[in-house]
Amino acid sequence: MKKLINRPEDAVKEELEGIAAAHADRLRVHTGLNYIVRADAPVRGKVAIVSGGGSGHEPMHGGFVGMGMLDAACPGEVFTSPTPDQMLDAAKAVNGGAGVLSIVKNYTGDVMNFEMAAELARGEGIEVEQVVIDDDVAVKDSLYTAGRRGVGATVLAEKICGAAAEQRRPLPDVAGVCRKVNANARSMGMALTSCTVPMAGKPTFELGADEMEIGIGIHGEPGRERRKLAPAHEIVEALATAVVEDLPFSCGDEVLAFVNGMGGTPLMELYVVYNELHKLLEGRGIAITRNLIGSYITSLDMAGCSITLLRLDDELTALWDAPVNTTGLRWGV
């Protein structure tokens, strides 16, 4: 294992100390219980938005704390859900009296920990709503699985709900916007390489030099299908077709296209992917009216990408365009 770390068990703690040292102007980092809040928290009268999940997906979620996006992020250990006591403390630190919206990615651990945290917070008189994001079309949603995973749509939901909260919309409204984003977004990812969890010290799975994994999650969990490596246009066709046909997105739709890097893929390749996606959607009469290209929801050092499409209307477009000032996303300020 080659990593820029000291000891594997200290990586998350030292990452948080680095964030605190770098961004004291915008963020407050609580070490010990490990959570990040915006420096001006709590914002009176505003719905507070809390998210969290395992570490290793940076910039998600800590990089999205700030004006126009999250009020707090709770990082767990690498690929491990944060804990209820941590989430409860974060919720108390950012609750400005208008309640708390938790944005939860659909993983068994995250959902159970956030459920326990919500039970605790309600016990202390804090109004809490939870929205579970489950946009990954690679996973079959049925009674016999844990349901679809939450992936790229999480980033879009955090941005858009953050804007809705800044408009001082009440909690049920902000939660409604979150559900609307989830209902209109679909994603699928692929990997060219495995990732290496620091504490494990070796790649989570082995991929041959001429192989790729289609339908990968964001935790190095293998996907549903291993295929021979193919050119970008074939990979994009496989991912985008599954995404488009699932919702389905249809001719005349306006979409936000999010091409995301998994952590070990250069921006050059993401633009190659975007170019193929743009051509494919144009051919289907789907217009990309907003885009986001870069590594925003990653899987440590994994090489690969995911494609997320969000069907836009005027409300979602305006909320996407609203100012945001975080270390990961920043515009309009």
Q: Which residue's CB is nearer to another protein, number 78 or number 292?
A: 78
Q: Which of 23, 30, 57, 61 is catalytic?
A: 57
Name 188's bridge partners: 307
Compute the least distance from the CB of residue 276 to another protein, in Å. Answer: 26
Of 156, 54, 152, the C-alpha closest to 109 is: 54
Name the residue nearer to another protein (CB basis): 12 or 316. Answer: 12
Q: How far is the CB of 161 from another protein (least distance, A)?
A: 24
Q: Tally DSSP H helices, then E strands, for the chain.
A: 8, 14
Residue ranges of the alpha helices (H) in the chain?
11-22, 84-94, 108-123, 153-166, 171-183, 232-246, 267-283, 314-321
Q: How far is the CB of 148 from another protein (least distance, A)?
A: 9
β-bridge mates for residue 259, sequence order: 293, 307
Q: At what angle do helices 171-183 and 153-166 cross, to 10 degrees?
A: 150
Whether 61 is catalytic = no
Question: Given the complex with another protein, which of 226 and 290 has the nearer CB atom?
Answer: 226
224 vs 279 by CB, closer to another protein: 224
Residue type, 224: R
Phi, psi of 153 (to 5 degrees): -60, -20
- Cα(30)–Cα(82) distance, integer angstroms: 14
Separation of alpha carbons 196 and 154, rounded Å? 23
Q: Determine which one of 23, 61, 219, 278 is catalytic.
A: 219
Asked whether 216 and 191 are in contact (CB, 8 A), the reply is yes
Q: Give me the residues that bind another protein (CB under 8 A), please.
A: 54, 76-86, 107-109, 112-113, 115-116, 138-140, 144-146, 149, 197, 199-200, 204-205, 217, 219-222, 224
Q: Of 189 and 328, which has the nearer Cβ to another protein?
A: 189
| Shortest distance (Å) from residue 239 CB to another protein | 16
What's the closest the beta carbon of residue 269 comes to another protein, in angstroms?
25
The rounded distance, in Å, linking the Cα atoms of 33 and 87 is 9
Active site residues: 57, 219
